[in-house]
Amino acid sequence: MSEPKKGPLYISNTLTRKKEEFVPLRPPHVGLYVCGPTVYSDVHLGNVRTFLSFDTVYRWLTFLGYKVRYVRNITDVGHLVGDVDEGEDKIAKRARLEQLEPMEIVQKYTNGFHDVMRLFNILSPSIEPTATGHLIEQIGMVERIIASGYGYEANGSVYFDVPRFAEKHAYGELSGRRIDELLSNTRDTEGMEEKRSPLDFAIWKKAEPQHLMKWPSPWGEGFPGWHLECSAMSTKYLGQTFDIHGGGMDLKFPHHECEIAQSVAADGHAPVRYWMHGNMLTVNGRKMAKSEGNGFTPEELLTGNHKLLEKGYSAMTVRFFMLQSHYASTLDFSNAAMQAAERGLERLMAAMDLLDQLKPGASDGADIPALEQRCYDAMNDDINTPVMIGELFEGVRIINSVNDGKVSLTPSSLVKLKDLMRSMVHDVLGLQREAAKASDDGAMDGLVQEFIRMRAEAKARKDYAAGDAIRDRLAALGIILKDTKEGTTWSRA
């Protein structure tokens, strides 16, 4: 048995549509950028999935030994609202509704976002830059785009000249679009009359007098365009070319396509070497989205207080549920699937609880290095968490068998098993025992122990009816008794 090898990592590059070996630009450093939330409302579970997917990428890169700079932005400059409130800033709109300052809205939902990230044990990025904090950089980028000839001013706004850019560069490469097809498919959008081509997009937008979030610029009072912040901030913190850019599938076009165009126009470099796109969370086969009314917030999820939820589910259950599918596949939410995940996670965590009490033996009844290698291989194959979880359940079987005395492991193999299970389950998958149930104080335990003792006495005199009655009544209260060789243990249902 040779020592398990940690690399190399292969990831599906959505730019080339191929699985490629990941080779960082400047090892051991890795630059990772992920498009963060727009903080004008609560995040829903679909948003969580994307951040969880890239949390896993971040954790795995870190596990492989890379020094990762993970940048995930906060979009706190509103994007334009499409139909009803033409030209109005999303955040400003919300602010008027709630009689709050725009930055108050931003703060409120940023806090909420952070709470959700913590709830799901999603790690903080290395840098979390805000769009409003990088106006200088964004204005600078607009200037560079104008200087390169791919941006033009019109009535206080600045637009990106897509057809001109496409003459010399591959606009549409990422999303598989073609200029002529796009042109035949255009709809009327805001600012149409100022644009030279319907494909052009705003990189700086003139603010109307009533607009709340606006800043001075060489083109007058305004605010940065839809796609600019990510380009400006990724360039600032990761360089003109960096390793990995992630985001939800729905951002591929136009957002990421525009990012590429902006960077190429401004600095002459394709910004990203590996593009990764997480797929959507669906409900009854349909994308979870605010507009569909099929989204629920983490709070509704936890309490089960939503018409789509039969009951509440813990954050860790959701995390496990999501990790059981590949990040690039759509994942359908259903109560049946959640309940299956709940039970599966419980079995996994119960085995983790046994780890400390396992006793080593004289021989090896299981090949731990082989298991370890299979775990690494799964993750190195495009972050295949479902396959790794499958392997971890092999670990669960070994743990339980060792605990039952049916399988023996030498001291060194046992240490390897513990290290492997802990690093994969806790560090890589980010699964933790839920703390909620641990709030019992000593009195509670003492009380239950008293019942356990009464039941033991009943059992000792073969009064099983009385013993079972105690167990049943406690069960009705949510206290589960388990008879083991070492005595009776209890837990909450």
Residue ranges in 271-300 that form contacts with RNA under rule CB under 7 A? 278, 280-282, 285-291
- Shorter beta-carbon distance to RNA: residue 97 or 443: 97
Which of 24, 46, 112, 271 contacts RNA by CB under 7 A?
A: 46
CB of 27 to RNA, least distance (A): 26
Please tell me the distance from the alpha carbon of residue 235 to that of residue 222, in angstroms, as a whole number: 22
Residue ranges in 178-237 that form contacts with RNA under rule CB under 7 A? 181-182, 185-187, 189, 201, 226
- Shorter beta-carbon distance to RNA: residue 67 or 343: 343
Residue ranges in 47-86 that form contacts with RNA under rule CB under 7 A? 47, 49-50, 79-80, 82
- Pairing of β 487-492 and β 479-484: antiparallel
Q: Is the CB of residue 311 less than 8 Å from the CB of residue 334?
A: no
Q: Is the CB of residue 66 less than 8 Å from the CB of residue 27?
A: yes
Which of 400, 410, 423, 432 contacts RNA by CB under 7 A?
A: 400
E-strand stretches of 22-95: 29-34, 67-72
- Shorter beta-carbon distance to RNA: residue 35 or 64: 35
Residue ranges in 84-123 that form contacts with RNA under rule CB under 7 A? 90
CB of 67 to RNA, least distance (A): 25
125 binds RNA (CB under 7 A): no
CB of 354 to RNA, least distance (A): 9
CB of 45 to RNA, least distance (A): 8
Which of 457, 464, 473, 493 contacts RNA by CB under 7 A?
A: 464
Spatial CA neighbour of 165 closest among 142, 188, 145, 189: 145
Its sign, for the CA torsion 110, 111, 116, 120, is positive
Tokens found for residue 149: 């000839």
Residue ranges in 158-187 that form contacts with RNA under rule CB under 7 A? 175-177, 181-182, 185-187
In Å, how far are 107, 119, 216, 434 from 111, measured between CA atoms?
6, 12, 28, 22
User: Per-residue contact track with RNA, 412 to 451, x per CB under 7 A?
Assistant: ----------------------------------------
Spatial CA neighbour of 245 closest among 9, 7, 11: 11
Which of 266, 326, 376, 479 contacts RNA by CB under 7 A?
A: 326
- Pairing of β 151-154 and β 281-283: unpaired
Window contacting RNA (CB under 7 A); options: 92-100, 216-224, 324-332, 428-436: 324-332
CB of 288 to RNA, least distance (A): 4
144 binds RNA (CB under 7 A): no
User: Per-residue contact track with RNA, 248 to 267, x per CB under 7 A?
Assistant: xxxxxxxx------------
- Shorter beta-carbon distance to RNA: residue 155 or 186: 186
Residues ≥6 apart with Cβ < 8 Å to 44 = 288, 290, 295, 296, 297
Tokens found for residue 445: 């335990």
Residues ≥6 apart with Cβ < 8 Å to 278 = 49, 50, 53, 54, 246, 247, 248, 249, 327, 328
CB of 184 to RNA, least distance (A): 8
Which of 121, 240, 384, 432 contacts RNA by CB under 7 A?
A: 384
- Pairing of β 10-13 and β 67-72: unpaired
- Shorter beta-carbon distance to RNA: residue 252 or 426: 252
Number of residues that bind RNA (CB under 7 A): 86
Please tell me the distance from the alpha carbon of residue 235 to that of residue 20, in angstroms, as a whole number: 24
In Å, how far are 20, 92, 227, 234 from 203, measured between CA atoms?
32, 19, 7, 16
Residue ranges in 353-382 that form contacts with RNA under rule CB under 7 A? 381-382
Looking up tokens 């490629």, which residue turns up? 20
> How many Cα atoms occupy the beta-carbon half-sphere of 81 within 13 Å?
14
CB of 444 to RNA, least distance (A): 20
332 binds RNA (CB under 7 A): yes
Which of 311, 397, 453, 473 contacts RNA by CB under 7 A?
A: 397
CB of 377 to RNA, least distance (A): 11
